[in-house]
Amino acid sequence: MSAMVTFFPVGCGDMALIRLADEPATHVLVDVNIRVAADDDADDTRDVAKDLRDRLPRDAKGRPYVDAFLLSHPDKDHCTGLEKHFHLGPIDEYPSDDQPDAEKKIVIREIWSSPMVFRRASKNHTLCADAKAFNREAKRRVQRFRDGKLLIDGERVLILGEDENGKTDDLGTILIKTGDKFRTINGRWSSYFEAHLLAPMPRQDDDDEELLSKNHSSTILNMQLASSALHPDSCRFLTAGDAEVAIWERLWSRYKATPDVLAYDLLLAPHHCSWHSLSYDSWSRLGEKVKVSPDARSALGQARFGARIVASSKPIKDDDSDPPCIRAKREYKAILGDHSGIFHCTGEEPNARSPEPLEMEISASGVRRKEARARGVAAVTAAAAPRAG
Ligand SMILES: [Zn+2]
């Protein structure tokens, strides 16, 4: 099967599933936002839990699983539904083997967590129950590692970015330092995947710390996804949670001499297409007088030929709301215009009335939306608008 990234329609929130081209396919989930309305049969909000489960493999015991789950940062719209749909706790206490498939908890074989991102988030607000549950589970797994216990599926953890004051210095193989690249998922080396950890940025001085905390510090990864063993660099997927303008400015100052580090074929527009990822100005207050930050725009402007930018948000309206923000969409479309790229919004695919998961297929020639026909839907738009494919 081909490699694919699926973006689920979860309103202003993130939930994206990466399927690698290996066999059996490795699955990495980035964030989760399964709202109560999506779980309610009487509500017409898209049942994204079913959409996710339909795409996940089952293990030898019939349990649905992801090989890795990354929480970009612990805001509600990135972790809602975690406790309800996923198994947290020791794998030998898995509770739902007797349940029907649709009700079985999803096993997280390896959890990807950043203590630094958690530290910055909890300075600014109280964490929601799902975020606290995630943090407990990550800490439990780290403790298990420190205790020298066997690392098995459902118990692994990878720490992304160093914590302050040397708190993560003893973590050896389970610590990825910011600026490093890694190729292991759930303890296995992959020739179909490489990720470059670009943020969280390590702690420097207090002023800097304050600014980074207020800019929705998030884990930022630029992932290289292979379409086959012969084509390891078919797609760069840049994913950045809700990171805002000051973080992108710092990334540009760090990588402007090597901009390929920030190059992408697929960009999840940070913070649900918020203008604050590109500018310090308020769109709702200043309107067309707002100014873009040239450095943030450069950091987010490294689109490769035919790139796609996806806003994970409700439909983007031509008004003063933010996020999603029409001005940010215009800026992203301008970036893409120079590279024959296409902009998508999860709340508008295929239409705003009943959005469906947006599936981006990866081939040797790049990224394209899986065709309507292949999705089992009447091929209405594909034939009429080849550019939209
Ligand atoms: Zn968010």
DSSP track, 210-240: HHHHHTT---EEEEEE-SBTTBTTSEEEEE-
Distance CA 314, CA 274 (A): 12
Centroid of ligand 1 to alpha carbon of 75 (angstroms): 6
Walk me through the domains of the chain, giving residue ranges and CATH numbers: 3-388 (3.60.15.10)
Q: 370 or 375: whose pLDDT is higher?
A: 370
Instruction: Tell how far the Cα of 207 is from the centroid of ligand 1, in angstroms.
Output: 24
199 three-class SS: strand
Ligand 1 midpoint to CA 270 (Å): 8
Query: How far is ligand 1, taken at its centre, from the CA of residue 229, in Å?
Result: 34
| Distance separating alpha carbons of residues 22 and 117, to the nearest angstrom | 31
The torsion angle over the Cα atoms of residues 154, 106, 352 and 377, rounded to 10 degrees, is: 110
* Overall average pLDDT of the 176-194 stretch: 97
Q: Are 164 and 116 in contact (CB under 8 A)?
A: yes
Output the CA 383–ligand 1 centroid distance in Å.
Answer: 34
Predicted local confidence at residue 372, as pLDDT = 64
Write the pLDDT tens digit of every residue in 128-177. 999 999 999 999 999 999 999 988 999 999 999 999 989 999 998 999 99
Q: What is the pLDDT of residues 328-344, one digit of tens each?
A: 999 999 999 989 999 99
The CA 242 to ligand 1 mean position distance, Å, reads: 5
**Dist. CA 236 → ligand 1 center (Å):** 21
At 372, which amino acid appears? A
330 CB contacts (<8 Å, ≥6 apart)? none
Which is more confidently placed, 164 or 85?
A: 85
151 Cα: distance to centroid of ligand 1 (angstroms):
32
Reply yes or no on whether the pLDDT at 380 is more than 80.
Answer: no
Mean pLDDT, residues 277-289 = 97
Paired tokens of 265: 């074929």
CA-to-CA distance for 211 and 233, rounded, in angstroms?
Answer: 34
Q: How far is the CA of 169 from the centre of ligand 1 (A)?
A: 30
352 is written with which tokens? 């705003």
Q: When comparing pLDDT for 203 and 252, which is higher? A: 252
Beta partners for residue 236, in sequence order: 224
Ion ligand 1: residue ranges with CB closer than 5 A = 77, 242
**pLDDT digits 0-9 by tens, 307-323:** 999 999 999 999 999 99
C-alpha 272 – ligand 1 centre gap (Å): 6
Q: Which residues contact 219 (CB under 8 A, 6 or more apart)?
A: 70, 71, 72, 73, 112, 114, 117, 160, 161, 197, 199, 200, 241
* Cβ pair 357, 19 in contact under 8 A: no
In whole angstroms, what is the distance from residue 87 CA to residue 116 CA?
24
User: In the prediction, which pLDDT does 338 show?
Assistant: 86
> The tokens of 283 are what?
């769109």
User: How far is the centre of ligand 1, averaged over its atoms, from the C-alpha of 274 (Å)?
Assistant: 10
Count CA atoms closer than 13 A to 213's CA, side-chain side. Answer: 18
- Locate the DSSP E strands across 32-167: 32-33, 65-66, 68-70, 80, 86-87, 106-108, 110-113, 156-160
Please report, rounded to a whole number, the percentage of residues in the chain having pLDDT higher than 90.
86
Distance CA 344, CA 307 (A): 11
Q: What is the pLDDT of residue 388?
A: 41
Tell me what percent of the residues of the chain surpass a pLDDT of 70: 95
Q: Of the segments 37-51, 195-209, 287-301, which one has the largest average pLDDT value?
A: 287-301
- pLDDT, mean of residues 181-207: 93
pLDDT score for 343: 98
Q: What is the mean pLDDT of residues 222-250?
A: 96
What is the distance in A from the centroid of ligand 1 to the CA of 16? 13
How much distance in Å is there from the Cα of 31 to the middle of ligand 1?
A: 10
Collect all residues with Cβ–Cβ distance below 8 Å to 233 and sequence separation of at least 6: 224, 226
Rounded to 5 degrees, what angle do the CA atoms 125, 127, 132 make?
Answer: 155
In this prediction, residues 185-204 reach a mean pLDDT of 94
